[in-house]
Each structure stands twice: as C-alpha cells, then as structure tokens.
Structure 1
Amino acid sequence: MNDALLKTLATRRSVKPDRLEAPAPSGEELDRILTIAARVPDHKKLVPWRFMVFEGDARAAAGEIFVEACKAEENEPSHVRLETERTRFMRAPLVVAVVSRVSKRPGAPEWEQILSAGAAAFNLCLAANAMGYGTSWLTEWVAYSATVRAKLGLAENERMVGFIYIGTPKEKPEERERPNLADIVTRWQP
C-alpha cells in the first residue's frame, strides 16, 4: 500500500490562482509533471490532448490576447475588466493549458478522447501537488472564446480543457465540504 500517495489523493485541494507565488516547477520538474500528466487511459493510442505552457513573459502576452478578445466579444468592457484580462495569467507563476484534440477513429469514441484529456489535466494537477506545488484548474470565458482559440492556434478539432495555474501556495488552503458517500453511491443489484 502506498500511504503517501493515498494521503496526497485524500487531501489534495485547489489553490486559488492569486494565492500562488513563485517558485513554480521549471525544467526537469515541469518535464516530469507533464510526463506524468500524459500517463492516462488513451484508447487506440491517439494522444487526444496536448499541453501549452505559459511562463515568464508569455503570460503577459496571453493577457494581451485576452484583452483583444474581450474588446471584440463584449460591448464596451470597462478599464477594470480589461486590466483583469490583461493580468489573468499573471496570477500564478506558471499556467499550463490542456487542449483536447479529437480524431475521427473507429473504436475510439469522441467522448472517450475528451475524457482522456480531462484525465491528463487532473494527472497534471496531482503530479504538481505531489511535488508540493499548488494548482487550480480553471476554464473561465477565455477557454471558450473563438478569438482566444484562434490566437492560441487551436485547430478545428481542438478545445480547451482548461488552464492549470501552478505555483507555491502562499498558505495552506482551507478544507471545504465534500459529498457524503451515502448521497452519491448506489450499489446496483439485479
């Protein structure tokens, strides 16, 4: 039995992006996290996901794309709103986008490919958490924006699974209420 792994799984908690600070994983640590993220069920070995890393100045450059998209897609966004978009990825020292890419393949339904991408996103969170980093998996409006998708180079068969914000937690996140097993588990009987 791997008690350390079970403890990580039992106590993991998302950390709000603005509660994350440097350092974030880089170099070999980040490569290890992404390698672990890629170890998920992948029927037919299609690799129906990919990772896009935003670190350093790339985070600010992404913010300019978000400002452009906000101006194009909203009616007269306020200065405060535009500044929020400009600094969206600056809330954490590292952001990794997980992109789902569905291939038409007999025997590999679209739904299974999307679930595989979701599993990759969560594996990424778990790997970073196991190394002592905090994570927050968010989509927010930018994940669904046609302008953002185009500017980030997503293909027609690709969708944003989410953005994983990663860094060192400024403080331990508070625990939140979890579902009661009696409310979510049934035992099927013939």
Structure 2
Amino acid sequence: MPGKNKAMEVLLSRTSTDRLDAPAPKGSVLMQILSTSLRAPDHGRMRPWRFITVAGKHRAAFAELLVAAMRRTDPEVKSAKLEKKRARYAEVPMTIILGMDLHPNAKIPVDEQVMAVAAGAMNVLNALHAEGFGGMWVSGAFQNDEIFREKLGLTRHQKIAGFLQVGTVEGRASETKRPDIDLYHARWKGDPVAFGADK
C-alpha cells in the first residue's frame, strides 16, 4: 500500500513538546486536522467530540478565564502558579479545548464515550505532527469548574477532557526515549500472562 511506511514513520516519530511558536494551523489545514478526530472509534455513533479553538487576540481573555477558574477551584493557589498559567495560555499560539458531550443515560457507557474523545484527540495530535506542527495535551482540576465551562459555551452535560497546546515546534523536538514494546506485550497461550513492565 503506497504511503504505508511514511505513515508509520509519522506515528513512531511523534512526541509531545511545549516548545511551541507561531504559526499554528488555520483555515482548511486546521479543519482537516480536526476532521481526523471523526475517524476515531465511536461505539453507538455518539459523536462526543466538541472542539473549541482559541488563538490570536482572544488568547489573553481565555487565560484570564482560566486563572479565575483556578482561583475558584483552589483558593490557596500560589500567585506564581497563576502567573505561569496566565503567561502560558496567553502566549501559546493556539489552544484546542477538548470538550466531551457525554450522555450518562445512553446505552453506550460513559467510559466508552470518553474513550472516543481520547481516541479523537490522539488522532488530532498525530495529524498535527503529520502536518509539521507540534502539540501537547495538558489538563488541570480547574477544567471541571462549572462557571469556566459555561463561559466557554459548554452545557451542563458537556465536560472538558483537557487542552491541546498547539504551534510550530521551536527547533527540533527533543527525542523522548521510549521503553521496549516487549515490556508491554504478552502472548496468551492458555495460561495467565505476565508483563515485563509489571516486574
């Protein structure tokens, strides 16, 4: 199959990085990247993905919303931590908020709905890398703040799975040493398996 080796190269070379500079993807490139999420497994066709992108002049206002949510979540949060978050979200070229439209009373378990969102987010991270961009998935307790979610336009049953910080990698992304896959794989032959990673 043409392109098979190239696709594997992309998947095996992706790494998370927070060293991100402009530009971030936009226009049809961004829409194509986000569209890869819709290829994720989605039991029952629940369509749980809800993406909100923040870029340009709106970053500073979003950073203030986030800092206010941090204060509500943890009234004793250190000012240095708030300033670090404020600066980061105001400066990173783009933030993609990973919204989840979850339905607890549906036939499909909520866990599976959440996994569909996670699988979609991973597709987006891989697509970003394939298109020459970088990204990092981050999260925090503040993302559960109800006022924060409401100000973003999310409804009561729509939660946040985290945030993708997105941009162009500054220089070269540092290679992250990965463990050997043999530590995480076992062949079942009738008896209980054991994993090297568990020893």
Shorter-chain TM-score above 0.5: yes
Aligned mate of 1:15, from 10, 17, 29? 17
Could you say what secondary structure the match of 2:186 adopts? coil
Aligned pairs for 1:80-99 (under 5 A) are: 80-99=80-99
Larger displacement relative to structure 2 (34-43 or 150-159): 150-159
What do residues 10-52 of structure 1 show as CA deviations (whole Å, max 9, x unaligned)? 1111111xx1111111111111111122221112211012101
Larger displacement relative to structure 2 (141-150 or 93-102): 141-150
What do residues 39-74 of structure 1 show as CA deviations (whole Å, max 9, x unaligned)? 211122110121011111222111111222233333
In 2, are the aligned partners of 1:41 and 1:116 still within 8 Å (CA)?
yes
Confirm whether residue 114 of structure 1 aligns to residue 114 of structure 2.
yes
- In the superposition, the TM-score normalised over structure 2's length comes to 0.85
Aligned pairs for 1:1-190 (under 5 A) are: 1=1, 2-16=4-18, 19-103=19-103, 104-106=105-107, 108-190=108-190
CA drift at 1:79: 4.1
Q: Which residue of 1 aligns with 2:194?
A: none
Q: What are structure 2's unaligned runs of at least 5 residues?
A: 191-199
CA drift at 1:165: 1.1
Could you say what secondary structure the match of 1:38 adopts? helix
Query: CA 1:80–1:47 in structure 2 vs 1: closer, same or farther (change >3 Å)?
Result: same
Counterpart of 2:98, as a letter, is V
Instruction: Report sequence identity in percent.
Output: 32
CA drift at 1:77: 4.4
What do residues 106-153 of structure 1 show as CA deviations (whole Å, max 9, x unaligned)? 2x2211111000011111111111000011111133323344223323
What do residues 141-177 of structure 1 show as CA deviations (whole Å, max 9, x unaligned)? 3323344223323323222111111111112122122
Q: Structure 2 CA distance, aligned partners of 1:135 and 1:97?
A: 12
- In the superposition, the TM-score normalised over structure 1's length comes to 0.89
Counterpart of 2:11, as a letter, is L
CA drift at 1:81: 3.1
Q: Structure 2 CA distance, aligned partners of 1:41 and 1:71?
A: 36
CA drift at 1:105: 2.0
Q: Structure 1 CA distance, aligned partners of 2:44 and 2:30?
A: 26
Q: What are structure 1's unaligned runs of at least 5 residues?
A: none
Could you say what secondary structure the match of 1:87 adopts? helix
Tell me the number of residue pairs that the alignment of Structure 1 and Structure 2 aligns. Answer: 187
Query: CA 1:35–1:48 in structure 2 vs 1: closer, same or farther (change >3 Å)?
Result: same
Counterpart of 1:6, as a letter, is M
Q: Structure 2 CA distance, aligned partners of 1:30 and 1:58?
A: 17
